[in-house]
A and B are shown apart, each in its own frame.
Chain A
Amino acid sequence: MEANTRDTGRLPAAFLTPGSSSFMDFLGAHSPQLLPGNRPLPPLQGAVEAPHGTTIVAASFPGGVVLAGDRRATMGNVIAQRDIEKVFPADEYSAVGIAGTAGIAVEMVKLFQLELEHFEKVEGTVLSLEGKANRLSTMIRGNLGMAMQGLAVVPLFAGWDVDREKGRIFSYDVTGGRSEEHGFAATGSGSMFARGSLKKLYRDDLTEDQAVTAVVQALYDAADDDSATGGPDLARRIFPIVTVITDDGYKRYSEAEVSEVARAILERRLEEPDGPRAALL
């Protein structure tokens, strides 16, 4: 009698099966074709041309963590998009920034946000920060097949750990390997330069404002040396996306606030193009 439940318009059995609080598990059981990592790629020669997002940086400070990203997406030598957004809130207390194939990354973030929200609604409680970071690991691992064909996604995950009361940063590799970063981290094509910059600028007693300045400096340095990373664009009023997560939750800086920080940095760089100098000894 209940053999073909889809015809009656009632909820299919999979919807009413008790058990998993994971939306990804549910999707895998009910409509596996919707999972990002679940589509077979046709065998093809060479890399697929698709827009790539570039540099994401993060830095923690006492009381929170900053996660920021530039706005450029490139496709080969072409700038595919000038104002792409690559930093997203994952939930109230965490954010994720993505480098790599933009299309897949954005889909992955959408699913990740939903995964956290779904768990929260079903269980009535939120996942631990470690739990969230692990879920993201699983998703990246699912994308390994595509990553091997040049469609990799490498995110940076930052959040406020409600239990330990501190900001934490997690970085990933294409295989889903996850490592906690202490202090600061960067991912994407300009990450070498951004990391070098943060290495000289970062201290563990920064205030929120200083941490924001440090990450915008790092993005400036990345844009300075990496053609795929976009610097602040004064003419078009395009500035990096800066987000801060504290015990008050996720907050994205307004365009005006970031513009103020970016302009101050530019002003100084007119005199010192390489940015602030660190002491030799």
Chain B
Amino acid sequence: MTTPFYVSPQQAMADRAEYARKGIARGRSVVVLQYSDGILFVAENPSRALHKVSEIYDRIAFAAVGKYNEFENLRIGGVRYADLRGYTYDRDDVTARGLANVYAQTLGTIFSSAAEKPYEVELIVAEVGEAPEDDQIYRLPHDGSIVDEHGSVAVGGNADQISSYLDQRHRDGMTLAEALKLAVESLARDNNGGERSLTAEQLEVAVLDRKRPQQRKFKRVLGRQLSRLLESEGAAAEDSSVAESEAEDSEE
């Protein structure tokens, strides 16, 4: 009979955290930032079908980086959780805080259970409020902790660097075009300080737009609308809210 090697609990946890962090760091990043009319999600993602940003409920959206099958699983779990809650109580009773808690519990239990492999994911759950002060953004790292974020946040491969870049430049009340420009600039920065250029085809962009007349505030920004927003230089006078240009783009 062989005796297993003794591994201290600290070491075991550190190894698991290291494993998860490495998995997450391999992927491209997602940034989430507040703008005057809502919350903007920008991911570097060449795929049109496999999304990193998705709708969960009326005012709640989800963004994730890491291993696709794991965060997709969590996303569907979240949609089921939100829909079940809204069905048993009321649509207003589905909150980002509740959802973030459930995600944190789920990730935390998986992380500390020796029988399961830790999830290599980092999530963002955001809810758009009636006013910018009511917006909520939660970041959920792989170990089940919750971080309440304000203004801007980045997750994924280059998160620290992108976050600090965003923190320095993000301000309250930016227009959609300004926020998008900042998000793309931050994603285009390389580890070693160089810049790449990102085109509309490489970006997955979505918003939670509080001005949207529909009950469901989530909207993907696609095609012409995205190119137009990316091209609008300076953007100071730009007031192209998503709701306005929606009709125009519907024939695409």
Contacts and interface: CB of A to CB of B under 8 A. Distances in A.
Interface of A: 1-2, 8-11, 14-16, 18, 23, 26-27, 30-31, 34, 110-111, 114, 117-118, 121-122, 124, 248
Contacts of A15: 76-77, 80-81
Interface string B49-77: 10100111000000000000000011011
Contact of A110 (B73, B77, B87, B106): B87
9 contacts: A1-B115, A2-B109, A11-B103, A16-B77, A18-B73, A23-B87, A27-B84, A121-B83, A124-B51
A10 B102 contact: yes
Given A9-B102, A122-B76, A111 B113 contact: no
A15 B75 CA distance: 10
Interface of B: 49, 51, 54-56, 73-74, 76-77, 79-81, 83-84, 86-88, 101-103, 105-106, 108-110, 113, 115-116, 216, 250
Specify the main secondary structure of chain A where it touches its partner: helix
Given A118-B83, A121-B56, A11 B106 contact: yes
Given A2-B115, A34-B88, A121-B56, A11 B83 contact: no
Contacts of A121: 54-56, 79, 83
Specify the main secondary structure of chain B where it touches its partner: helix
Contacts of A11: 74, 77, 81, 102-103, 105-106
Contact of B113 (A2, A9, A23, A26): A2
B79 A16 contact: no
A122 B106 CA distance: 19
B86 A122 contact: no
B77 A114 contact: no
